[in-house]
Homo-oligomer: A and B are copies of this chain.
Amino acid sequence: MEIITNIKQLQQKSISWIRQGKSIGFVPTMGYLHEGHEALMKAARQENDIVILSIFVNPLQFGESEDLNSYPRDEEHDRKVAEENEIDVIFFPSVDSMYPKPLSLELSVVRRADVLCGKSRPGHFDGVVTVLAKLFNMIHPTSVYFGMKDAQQIAVVDALIKDFNYPINLTTVPTVREKDGLAKSSRNVNLFDQERIGAPFIQQALQYGRQLVENGEKNQAELVKKIRQFLENKSHGNIDYIELLSYPELEPIELIDQQVILAAAVFYQKARLIDNVVFNEKGEKTLG
């Protein structure tokens, strides 16, 4: 395994692999790797000749009041996890090399972005697509891997790839969970004990909502109201949003008559957690 910090060097590596006819799987991360990331790495390892993992806490996708500085980091641990998962290259650039001066161009997401996390994190997805476009141009991956936990991110990356004709396969991997159902996240370490106890109720609330649909509930507003009541009593955090939208279009709907995403975000004192479930009009889970 090689650790590369230099952009030019990464580009030279990638082009030489492409010239050898090798497929490149790319797993973009912000580090502090957990089993969720490992699921991505394993999928990439299985499907490609070369696997490149990037670790970059991208300041562009953090809002001013967000947790850029408290975002957890552990380079030593990440290196070990990458090695165990037979990663070929960790790309670990500095902020200065990624953004040597203010950008003259801006890439922004104008559809699918003003719902769910986009609503409470203005500019977040602009930062995500900007860093991904840069990384895609450095790596030229055959396939890129994302977890279903960030379902909106998947919808937005899908738009980036299609709108700009990147010849890249977008592969989604199911959310990995703790035994109690809490979605794995690098931010989980920032939960206080009581918060940690309440956090699994996010997923429980979403499953409760799915079951209500299974039992015949068709009304979006009714459903969201019931889930909110369920979650408010149990999560120990402040609900940022509970939303039900068509998936993957992320359009608002009144009646549940198609595949939908039911998603929630909860603010804790030092973390904001998200989760979702995707199911059809019968309440049958269809993704992730």
Contacts and interface: CB of A to CB of B under 8 A. Distances in A.
Interface of A: 7, 11, 15, 18-21, 102-112, 129, 133-134, 137-138, 140, 156, 159-160, 162-167
6 nearest CB pairs, A to B: A104-B159, A104-B111, A137-B165, A103-B163, A134-B165, A105-B163
Main secondary structure of the interface of A (DSSP, over half): mixed
A184 to B, nearest CB: 28
A142 to B, nearest CB: 10
Given A164-B134, A166-B137, A108 B110 contact: no
Nearest to A129: B105
Nearest to A21: B19
A122 B89 CA distance: 43
B15 A167 contact: yes
Q: How many of these chains are in the complex?
A: 2
Contacts of A167: 11, 15, 137-138
B107 A107 contact: yes
Contact of A104 (B15, B18, B109, B166): B109
A257 B17 CA distance: 47
A229 B162 CA distance: 50
B104 A105 contact: no
B109 A137 contact: no
A7 B163 CA distance: 13
A140 B163 CA distance: 16
Contacts of A137: 164-167
A140 B139 CA distance: 12
A7 B165 contact: yes
Given A105-B129, A138-B167, 9 more contacts: A19-B19, A19-B21, A102-B111, A104-B109, A104-B112, A104-B156, A105-B108, A106-B107, A108-B108
A287 to B, nearest CB: 20
B138 A165 contact: yes
Contact of A105 (B15, B140, B164): B164
Contacts of A107: 105-107
A105 B118 CA distance: 14
A158 to B, nearest CB: 9
A163 B160 CA distance: 16
A132 to B, nearest CB: 10
Given A133-B164, A134-B165, A159 B110 contact: no
11 contacts: A19-B20, A103-B163, A104-B111, A104-B163, A105-B109, A105-B110, A105-B164, A106-B110, A134-B165, A137-B167, A138-B165
